[in-house]
Amino acid sequence: MAREKNNSEESKTVQAVERALAIMDALAEAGVPMAISDLADKVQLNISTVHRLLSTLIVKGYIEQEPETSRYKLGLKLFAMGKTALYAQDLQTIGRPFLEELVRRCNETANLAILDGRDVVYIDQVESNNIVIVRMFARVGSRGPAHATGSGKMLLSSLSDEELDKLFNGVQLEQYTSETITDVAILKKELQRIRRQGYAIDLGERDENVRCVAAPIRNHEGKVVAAISVSGPDTRITNYYLNNELVDIVLSVAREMSKRLGYMGND
């Protein structure tokens, strides 16, 4: 039975990926550049196989080869990826009290999200303790369409026109509800409006009958690094409450979190 379990687990993995990861693990463990022969011995593969894998990893930026010694070492791309992962964890740690403050003040679900391409990624969430809460797609670790969410639109609005063109050139925006923006030109106009007013609103664009207000989180350089938002049912987030109270609450908490990250501006 144990052997069957192992076979089942092995069938879920890709051999080439496992081998590539073993090479990167070996280089990380060594901490110094390695000759290909030593690397092959370490991962127990023949040199030709290791050479093919290294060639691909070099092209993709995960491995570098020293021109003087021909030895291999981890590439800067892995450093950048690790730095991004750590930064997301830092944002999560710093952001948690501010999410809790949002829930305390409005008793609706609060979210913290970052942008990854055309997707918004939710890195933390504190749920409302209302008896009636709506089912939303957003959960910690989940991804969503940036063009159809409050946090996503807020984050997209921080990009330059050139960056937006690269992201959406030739892209057909998926429709989720009757409120979803499906035209890139209209989306760009919406993002311009968000830039001017400093916050984004989602009136059921991803989930029917769910409304959201999102505001930017800026770092010490003034760069938008995340979005903080409040989501809830349209039965509670009415037009009056949204425009006269909720927007101000979300903006206020966003400013405080931005100050915590070292932002000194007045946006």
* CB-side neighbour CA atoms (13 Å) of 193: 10
SS3 143: strand
Q: Walk along the chain (267 residues) and give the pLDDT tens digit of each residue.
A: 333 334 444 456 788 899 999 999 998 888 889 999 999 999 999 999 999 999 999 998 899 999 989 999 988 888 767 666 656 668 888 999 999 999 999 999 999 999 999 999 999 999 888 755 555 555 666 788 999 999 999 999 999 999 999 999 989 999 999 999 999 999 999 999 999 999 999 999 999 999 999 999 998 889 999 999 999 999 999 999 999 999 999 999 999 999 988 888 766
CA dist 50 to 26, 30, 44, 266, Å? 12, 16, 9, 54
SS3 33: coil
In this structure, what is the dihedral angle of CA atoms 89, 93, 95, 100, given to the nearest 10 degrees? 130
Identity (one letter) of the amino acid at 251? L
* Contact present, 134 and 108 (Cβ < 8 Å): no
Write down the pTM of the prediction.
0.68
Q: Which domains does the chain have, with CATH numbers?
A: 15-74 (1.10.10.10), 83-261 (3.30.450.40)
CA dist., res. 145 & res. 157, Å (int): 14
| Burial class, 257, CB count within 10 angstroms (exposed 0-12 / middle 13-18 / buried 19+) | buried
Residue 13's contacts (CB-CB under 8 Å, 6 or more residues apart) are none
